[in-house]
């Protein structure tokens, strides 16, 4: 059983577990602001209720101070996490820290119960129990993201009340008092588990909706939105590797390969065989690309019959071979239409690499490099189709290359002629 999410997930939902855990921990800390603020108020009330007992037992006062310090430390911890979340990225570590904080808070309350209850009059005891009940009710909701945290927090507090209540001279039968508190624990734990299950279901629904928004409905591939979000983090990683202070960038020469793939004469397929046939070919091309590429590589449905392929951590000599392998795979595949008819299909590919200029990694962003790959595709189409054309930097200075990226398709030949760009 998972410590954070004891709720069993369906097999198809297991891919969401890491993001579910992250969302649960985020909810746990977010709700802690309200819980700790309320707890601070309750501590003041408890101090007022037990001030006579504190005068008779100085140790009780020291535990009040200790509990106040624990609450203050947890609030400071929340502030640190909110200001510098990147310093503590581990979801498991954050959860363990929260468990430690809730357990320590509960231990302080247990000590207060043991020290204070024998010294309280019945009315004071009743008010004390009401405050503890309020704490428990608050914890049911604010700790719904982690049943384990609530289990370490609330039951020890109530059990210590039960233990001390048995020996306290109450005006009613101790058995009734114990039964009420045990029923309270059972009810609180049950409600906490129900809220946890509901929270998990809501988070999963949200994650699934996000996943659908980042996938193409027809092919199941990632879409433009996902590529934009993915590249934000990936480009930062690549630039760190190519930083002059990082020798690995210069030694390995590994980079990203961006490819634009377009199916040749695809409009004729739709016109001749119908859009259902075109959709079937797109779905089969998507499956074929995923089978041909490595697992880490990314295939994106760009729109219509165009696909973007992102190859991660490739040597600068690899994209040429990979593009040719993809082209041959599409050309050699026999596509089956919904009618049962078999059809052959070819594709054209343009590709470029990021960083485009190894000596100036940040000269062009990835979208400009993708534009260059699209220019390579344009040349492949106008050179007879069913071929792959790569675009690399010519001998012109990097600044001149960067400045000449506008209207790549319209002036592509001029740039090649001026040795600003080179086709491979």
Tell me the mean pLDDT in the region 231-257.
Answer: 73
Confidence band for 249, pLDDT divided at 50, 70 and 90: very low
Tell me the mean pLDDT in the region 188-199.
Answer: 90
The residue among 165 and 20 whose pLDDT is bigger is 20
Q: What is the pLDDT of residue 228?
A: 92
Contacts of 38 (CB under 8 A, 6+ apart): 134, 135, 138
Confidence band for 387, pLDDT divided at 50, 70 and 90: very high
Confidence band for 422, pLDDT divided at 50, 70 and 90: confident
Cis-peptide, bond into residue 303, ω within 30° of zero = no
Say whether pLDDT at 1 is over 50: no
Tell me the mean pLDDT in the region 207-218.
Answer: 88
Q: What percentage of residues in the chain have a pLDDT greater than 70?
A: 89
Confidence band for 87, pLDDT divided at 50, 70 and 90: confident
Cβ–Cβ under 8 Å, residues 42 and 131 = yes
Q: How many residues does the chain have?
A: 424
Confidence band for 251, pLDDT divided at 50, 70 and 90: very low
Tell me the mean pLDDT in the region 44-50.
Answer: 91
Q: What is the pLDDT of residue 258?
A: 95
Q: What is the pLDDT of residue 269?
A: 93
Q: What is the pLDDT of residue 346?
A: 96
Q: What is the pLDDT of residue 293?
A: 92
pTM > 0.85: no
Lowest mean pLDDT among 179-193, 212-226, 336-350: 179-193
Q: What is the pLDDT of residue 202?
A: 93
Q: What is the pLDDT of residue 338?
A: 93
Q: What is the pLDDT of residue 241?
A: 80
Q: What is the pLDDT of residue 349?
A: 97
Per DSSP (E only), the strands in 171-303 are 254-263, 298-303
Q: What percentage of residues in the chain have a pLDDT greater than 90?
A: 41
Say whether pLDDT at 11 is over 70: yes
Q: What is the pLDDT of residue 397?
A: 66
Q: What is the pLDDT of residue 402?
A: 62
Q: What is the pLDDT of residue 380?
A: 94
Say whether pLDDT at 353 is over 90: yes
Say whether pLDDT at 161 is over 80: no
Most confident region among 19-33, 118-132, 326-340, 356-370 by mean pLDDT: 326-340
Tell me the mean pLDDT in the region 204-214.
Answer: 88
Contacts of 284 (CB under 8 A, 6+ apart): 333, 335, 336
pLDDT tens by residue, 364-374: 889 989 999 99
pLDDT tens by residue, 56-72: 888 988 998 999 999 99
- Each domain of the chain, given as residue ranges in start order, spans 11-213, 224-423
**Rounded CA separation 375/369 (Å):** 10
Reported CATH class of domain 224-423: alpha beta
The residue among 99 and 407 whose pLDDT is bigger is 99
Q: Helix 318-332 vs helix 275-292: angle between axes, to the nearest 10 degrees?
A: 140
């Amino acid at each position: 059983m998972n410590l954070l999410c004891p709720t069993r997930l369906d097999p198809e939902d297991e891919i969401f577990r890491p993001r579910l855990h992250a969302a649960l921990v985020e909810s746990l800390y977010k709700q802690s602001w309200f819980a700790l603020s309320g707890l601070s108020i309750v501590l003041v009330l408890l101090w007022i209720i037990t001030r006579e007992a504190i005068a008779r037992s100085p140790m009780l006062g020291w535990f009040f101070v200790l509990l106040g310090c624990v609450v203050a430390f947890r609030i400071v911890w929340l502030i640190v996490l909110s200001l510098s979340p990147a310093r503590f990225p581990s979801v498991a570590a954050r959860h363990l820290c929260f468990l430690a904080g809730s357990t320590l808070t509960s231990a302080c309350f247990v000590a207060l119960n043991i020290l204070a209850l024998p010294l309280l009059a019945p009315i004071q005891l009743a008010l004390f129990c009401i405050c503890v009940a309020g704490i428990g009710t608050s914890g049911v909701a604010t700790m719904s993201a982690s049943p384990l945290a609530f289990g370490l927090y609330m039951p020890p507090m109530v059990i210590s009340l039960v233990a001390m209540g048995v020996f306290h001279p109450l005006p009613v039968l101790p058995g009734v008092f114990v039964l009420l508190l045990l029923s309270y624990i059972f009810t609180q734990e049950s409600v906490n588990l129900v809220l946890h299950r509901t929270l998990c279901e809501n988070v999963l629904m949200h994650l699934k909706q996000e996943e659908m928004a980042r996938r193409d409905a027809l092919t199941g591939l990632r879409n433009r939105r996902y590529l934009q979000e993915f590249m934000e983090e990936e480009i930062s990683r690549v630039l760190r590797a190519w930083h002059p202070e990082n020798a690995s960038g210069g030694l390995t020469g590994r980079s990203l390969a961006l490819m634009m793939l377009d199916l040749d004469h695809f409009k004729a397929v739709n016109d001749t065989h119908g859009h259902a046939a075109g959709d079937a070919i797109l779905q089969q091309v998507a499956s074929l690309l995923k089978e041909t590429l490595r697992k880490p590589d990314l295939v994106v449905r760009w729109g219509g019959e165009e696909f973007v392929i992102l190859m991660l951590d490739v040597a600068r000599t690899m994209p040429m071979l990979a593009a040719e392998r993809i082209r041959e795979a599409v050309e050699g595949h026999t596509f089956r239409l919904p009618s049962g008819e078999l059809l052959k299909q070819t594709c054209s590919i343009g590709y470029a690499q990021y960083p485009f200029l190894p000596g100036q990694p940040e000269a062009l962003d990835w979208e400009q490099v993708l534009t260059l790959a699209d220019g390579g595709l344009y040349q492949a189409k106008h050179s007879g189709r069913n071929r792959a054309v790569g675009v690399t930097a010519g001998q012109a200075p990097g600044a001149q290359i960067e400045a000449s990226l506008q209207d790549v398709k319209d002036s592509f030949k001029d740039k090649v002629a001026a040795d600003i760009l080179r086709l491979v």
